[in-house]
Chains A and B, each alone.
Chain A
Amino acid sequence: EVQLGESGGDLVQPGGSLRLSCAASGFPFSTFPMYWVRQAPGRGLEWVSAISQSGVDTYYADSVKGRFTISRDNSKNTLYLQMDSLRAEDTAVYYCAKIRSPTFGEFYFDYWGQGSLVTVSS
């Protein structure tokens, strides 16, 4: 059974840093690109970042580029999101997500974690 579990969410002051983790199991983690999606309170879904299977290629939404860093440890089946220079508008539930199949171009999200709440406030 595929499982994704985020951790690391917390209350942090503006300008601060936080690292989220996503522990994955039930699928060959190292063969899948991985993603972060966030949802501000009462708002819609926003794609945040992606990372290739090897971790060499990374992609970011313009809203977080230069402040967030996605990474992965395939030996630990874990995805990370390092968030620096946090702003109030980064307050959101952060989800990690996997796609159905990179091999057949099925890049829609078939599994999501339960989410981790990040609150940026003084």
Chain B
Amino acid sequence: DIQMTQYPSTLSAPVGDRVTITCRASQSISIWLAWYQQKPGKAPKVLIYKASSLESGVPSRFSGSGSGTEFTLTISSLQPEDFATYYCQQYNSLPYTFGQGTKLQIK
């Protein structure tokens, strides 16, 4: 199975800051990576697919980059509604494993 390592596990930042979350795969997954946002008590919502493609309806302050084994999610200017937990997921091969999550908190 492909292991996904995500860091940091917790991130504190003020509104307006630029933040980056990193996800590393244990083997190459090409560009088959998605990023999800999850708020308490809700199902995850996809933000980015194919490593850098923005899902329809997602604000442009979210962006993704990377290929192979190293990927990043960047939020260019944090908004109050962005404080949530973020997960990466590889869909290169089954099982479609997730990173352990990054909880983004208000500073």
In the complex, identify which listed stretch (A14-22, A77-85, A102-110) lies at the interface while the others stay far away.
A102-110
Chain A facing B: main interface SS: strand
**Which chain A residues border B100 with CB–CB below 8 Å?**
44
Q: Restricting to A101-122, which residues have a CB under 8 Å from any CB of B?
A: 105-110, 112-115
Expressed in whole angstroms, the Cα–Cα distance for A12 and B36 within the complex equals: 30
Chain B facing A: main interface SS: loop
Which residue of the partner chain, among A45, A47, A50, A108, contacts B49 with CB atoms under 8 Å? A108
**Which chain B residues border A105 with CB–CB below 8 Å?**
32
Chain B: number of interface residues, binned into ranges: 20 to 34
- Distance between B74 CB and nearest chain A CB, rounded to angstroms: 18
Of chain A, the residue at the smallest CB distance from B6 is A44
- Distance between B7 CB and nearest chain A CB, rounded to angstroms: 13
- Is residue B44 within 8 Å, beta carbon to beta carbon, of the partner chain? yes
In the complex, identify which listed stretch (B14-22, B76-84, B87-95) lies at the interface while the others stay far away.
B87-95
Interface pair B95/A108, CB less than 8 Å apart: no
Interface pair B46/A108, CB less than 8 Å apart: yes
- Is residue A59 within 8 Å, beta carbon to beta carbon, of the partner chain? yes
- Is residue A89 within 8 Å, beta carbon to beta carbon, of the partner chain? no
